[in-house]
Amino acid sequence: MKKRVTKAIFPVAGMGTRFLPATKSVPKEIMTLVDRPLIQYAIDEARAAGIKEFIFVTSRGKSALEDYFDNAPELENTLRKKGKTELLEELKNTNMDSGAIAYIRQHKALGLGHAVWCARRLVHNEPFAVILPDDVIAAEKPCLQQMVEAHEETGGCMVAAMEVPEDKASAYGVIDIKEDMGSCVSVKGLVEKPPADEAPSNLAVIGRYILTPKVMQNLNKIKTGSGGEIQLTDAIDAELREGRDVFGYRFRGQRFDCGSKAGFLQATVAFGLARNDLHVEFDSYLRELMSMRQAAQ
Ligand code: UTP
């Protein structure tokens, strides 16, 4: 019988240099889309997919993340006394059950593959999910839930896949497609950040994965790859070379690259417009702004 996916790794040990100077003291994952930090979107998505154990791979300067998931008794008491029940409910979402969350340190930012490998002892012999919180995905059914459901049929490893413009493919891990079955593709090979004219397709891997424990063993052997980092993509590609299955899953939803400034701003506008409490005011502001810009041109 296939094991259920109940563990997720959240690699949050990167340096976030694209958001300096903010990330000098604020972890990228604590930066907010409207009023919720990126990490909260990732946790909600994981919960919806049935994840019960949350493993954070952190680094120096990320203690704000640990505080974020802790109880805040004084704050909660004050809100209770003031009758602010809605805010109290909102805060409850940030509390994690005792023992449900674990923090592992990555002492040196050696790459995403290395960050995932740091959590190997907590994963044991089970399939596990990996969620990169800076990829935020707006979807009717949360992306990881779509993947878990598809994975129940396929088994093996699964990566979230998205069509990107051809000239952008070299910024991603790219899928060499063996067979295209619609929402799912079976994978022949994975190439991390291929040179512009060598991408095997325009189907890119983005920050959601369901992996077998074998990938952890592959990571033991993986040498530095693209960008001088230990790449997760290379350890998944090794599965293919040993004859095991890897699938790409074309999720339904819109992905925002919140690790980049442009993507973060786009997400802020999209999530702001989607909020009932902000929509009217924000929408009319944006319209006014655009018409002023057009008049000025
Ligand atoms: P990025 O490539 O976005 O790197 O990592 P970064 O350091 O976060 O940001 P920039 O490029 O310097 O602005 C993708 C994901 O992998 C994690 C990051 O925290 C992010 O979630 N990561 C990356 C690690 O945990 N450890 C690493 O050594 C590298």
| pLDDT of residue 183 exceeding 70 | yes
Tokens of 285: 């502001």
Region of 193 (left: φ > 0; alpha: ψ -120 to 50; beta: rest) is left
Q: Is the CB of residue 16 below 6 angstroms from any atom belonging to ligand 1?
A: yes
Q: Is the CB of residue 104 below 6 angstroms from any atom belonging to ligand 1?
A: no
Q: Which of 108, 134, 224, 229 to mutate to test the pocket of ligand 1 (most atoms within 8 A of CB)?
A: 134
Distance 170 CA to ligand 1 centre (A): 17
Q: Is the CB of residue 20 below 6 angstroms from any atom belonging to ligand 1?
A: no
For residue 92, what pLDDT is reported?
Answer: 82
| pLDDT of residue 172 exceeding 80 | yes
Q: pLDDT per residue over 9-31, tens digit each? A: 999 999 999 999 999 989 999 99
pTM: 0.94
Residue (of 219, 101, 80, 245) closest to 159 by Cα position: 245
Residue 128 near residue 213, CB atoms below 8 Å: yes
Query: What's the average model confidence in pLDDT over 226-243?
Result: 89
Of the listed ranges 41-55, 59-73, 159-173, the one predicted with least confidence: 59-73
| pLDDT of residue 225 exceeding 80 | no
- For residue 89, CA distances in Å to 76, 129, 149, 201, 275 come to 10, 27, 29, 45, 17
The residue that leads in pLDDT, 51 or 192, is: 51
For residue 115, what pLDDT is reported?
Answer: 96
For residue 1, what pLDDT is reported?
Answer: 55
Q: Is the CB of residue 113 below 6 angstroms from any atom belonging to ligand 1?
A: no
Alpha-carbon span 114 to 104, nearest angstrom: 12
What proportion of the chain, given as a percentage, has pLDDT over 70?
A: 99
Alpha-carbon span 190 to 176, nearest angstrom: 6
| pLDDT of residue 211 exceeding 60 | yes
Distance 17 CA to ligand 1 centre (A): 9
Domains parsed from the chain with CATH numbers: 7-259 (3.90.550.10)
Distance 62 CA to ligand 1 centre (A): 13
Q: Is the CB of residue 11 below 6 angstroms from any atom belonging to ligand 1?
A: yes
Residue 167 near residue 160, CB atoms below 8 Å: no
| pLDDT of residue 142 exceeding 80 | yes
Of the listed ranges 31-35, 129-133, 154-158, 194-198, the one predicted with least confidence: 194-198
User: Which amino acid does the sequence have at 41?
Assistant: Y
Query: What's the average model confidence in pLDDT over 268-286?
Result: 96
